Amino acid sequence: MKNKIGYSFLFVSLFCTLLYGLDKWTSDNPSDSSLIRIGLSDIDSSNCQVCESNEIYYESGCKRCIQDGIVLTAHVSNERLYNLGWSNNDGMYYGDNKCDGSKNFKNTSANTNDTYYIEILKNNQSIKTNFYTDEEFSNLKESVSIDICSNPTNLQYIRISNEDGKPAGNGGKLSGYIDDIEISNYSNENFSPIFSTSFNECQDNTCNDLWKFRNPEKIFINTYKDHISFSSQVLGTNDYAHLKLNQELPNSWLMKFKFHIDELEEHPHGKGVLKLEPEIRQIILGLPALIFPFIAYVMMRKINSFYPGGIMIVIGIIIITGILANLTQNNLFVINLNIVILGISVLIIILGIFKMLLRKKKDTNEINN
């Protein structure tokens, strides 16, 4: 009876090992997800003068470019919550050396067919973003505020960027458009216009070179529908659009725009053909694959057969092959976990070999007798 149960543990382990390998092999898990950012900065998108140490460089600059700025982000990972960020002499949405520069909305997440009318209000050292569901900006859905530790200054560029990560891979997809951009000076509860566009004045996809684009196939002015269209995927290119205002913004100002999502595909989060979250895959497939061979070995220690040892060796080899095929990870926790799994796999193989040698020794003794 113990032998049958032991074989059951071995075959379940082998089955889990194969399923885990299949699901992992078919998974897409880039480090970044598709997103779109819109906001204001003291530098344009095409030229990054100073980059954070050890950050990734694109053809158009680096990923964490030192700047002053305020930015709103929509993305397709995790709960897809919209995010408000700021920076002062640091990477976009990194704040400064004293304060964090990012805050998520609690209840408003990006979804297909979203249409929001958005305000970003900077009042001295306070930033507030309001999401409205109507073009009159009267039906408030949610508001988020950040008290900043220092003032982003010299803001003169409207920036739209997908900062879409490296390496290229399946990080989901986000496409839509931005329209009706307005920027006003805010003083003593009064607003005076600084800039506005509905893009209906644009005769071409750069609006007579007022806007600068890196890749007009991904972010461009749609002259048929009079708005800026965007399509964000993880291509490793950091596509963008920017416009230089005629003046630097004052200390307090208001930015308004319409934001719409046409299509959204979620970040796969490492899901494969079985559509399992990586953490769930580890628990229901990874743990049995590693633990069950030891249970089977204990239960079958007195059985005289090559098969248990052979199956254990196969399981160990499959696991080691999967680990070696996944050495591109640079996450320290993942590296350490892989080392532990490699050690367990080697131990499974050693026990399998030991089991087979015991059987061979017994056969030799029987022949000699």
pLDDT in tens, 5-44: 888 999 999 999 998 888 787 675 555 778 899 999 988 8
206 and 93 assigned to the same domain: yes
Per-range mean pLDDT, top range of 76-85, 249-258, 345-354: 249-258
Of residues 337 and 293, the one with the higher pLDDT is: 293
301 and 164 assigned to the same domain: no
304 and 160 assigned to the same domain: no
pLDDT level of residue 63 (50, 70, 90 thresholds): low
Instruction: Output the six-digit token pair for 116.
Output: 């929001």
Q: What is the pLDDT of residues 219-275, one digit of tens each?
A: 999 999 999 999 988 777 777 889 999 999 999 999 999 999 999 988 776 667 777
Whole-prediction pTM value? 0.69
67: pLDDT strictly greater than 90: no
Q: What is the CATH number of the domain that holds 121?
A: 2.60.120.200
44 and 167 assigned to the same domain: yes
Check: CB of residue 257 under 8 Å from CB of residue 180.
yes
Give the separation between CA 3 and CA 101, rounded to whole angstroms: 60
315: pLDDT strictly greater than 90: yes
Give the separation between CA 120 and CA 128, rounded to whole angstroms: 6
21 and 54 assigned to the same domain: no
Q: What is the pLDDT of residues 143-199, one digit of tens each?
A: 999 998 888 889 999 999 886 555 666 778 899 999 999 999 998 888 899 999 999
Displacement of CA 280 from its chain's centroid (Å)? 19
16 and 100 assigned to the same domain: no
Per-residue model confidence (pLDDT) at position 89? 81
Of residues 132 and 29, the one with the higher pLDDT is: 132
Per-residue model confidence (pLDDT) at position 128? 95
Of 237, 265, 293, which closes a domain? 265
240 and 327 assigned to the same domain: no
How many structural domains does the chain have?
A: 2
Per-residue model confidence (pLDDT) at position 143? 96
Per-range mean pLDDT, top range of 195-204, 213-222, 350-359: 195-204
Per-residue model confidence (pLDDT) at position 339? 87
Per-residue model confidence (pLDDT) at position 58? 53
Q: Which candidate, 169, 338, 175, 164, places its Cα nearest to that of 270?
A: 169
Per-residue model confidence (pLDDT) at position 121? 95
What phi-psi label fits residue 44: left (phi over 0), alpha (psi between -120 and 50 degrees) or beta? beta
135 and 184 assigned to the same domain: yes
102 and 145 assigned to the same domain: yes
Per-residue model confidence (pLDDT) at position 115? 97
Any idea which residue has 């078919």 for tokens? Answer: 26
Sign of CA dihedral 43, 49, 51, 53: negative
Q: To the nearest 10°, the Cα dihedral for 230, 83, 148, 146?
A: 130
Element (H, E) at 268: none
Any idea which residue has 């566009």 for tokens? Answer: 197
Secondary structure (3-state) at 216: coil
Give the separation between CA 366 and CA 369, rounded to whole angstroms: 5
Domain housing 14: 2-27+272-368
Give the separation between CA 317 and CA 18, rounded to whole angstroms: 11
366: pLDDT strictly greater than 60: no
23 and 52 assigned to the same domain: no
Beta carbons within 8 Å of 151's beta carbon, 6+ residues apart? 88, 124, 125, 251
Per-residue model confidence (pLDDT) at position 334? 73
Per-residue model confidence (pLDDT) at position 253? 94
Average pLDDT over residues 202-208: 86
Query: Per DSSP, which regions of the chain are E strands?
Result: 35-41, 57-58, 61-62, 66-75, 81-91, 102-109, 115-123, 126-132, 140-147, 157-161, 173-187, 190-197, 211-213, 219-222, 227-232, 240-244, 253-265
Of 238, 265, 292, which closes a domain? 265
116 and 245 assigned to the same domain: yes
Per-residue model confidence (pLDDT) at position 223? 92
Give the separation between CA 47 and CA 198, rounded to whole angstroms: 27
312 and 219 assigned to the same domain: no
Of 214, 232, 265, which closes a domain? 265
Instruction: Output the six-digit token pair for 67.
Output: 């700047």
Summary mean pLDDT of the chain: 84
Q: What is the pLDDT of residues 82-102, one digit of tens each?
A: 999 988 887 777 777 788 888
Per-residue model confidence (pLDDT) at position 55? 54
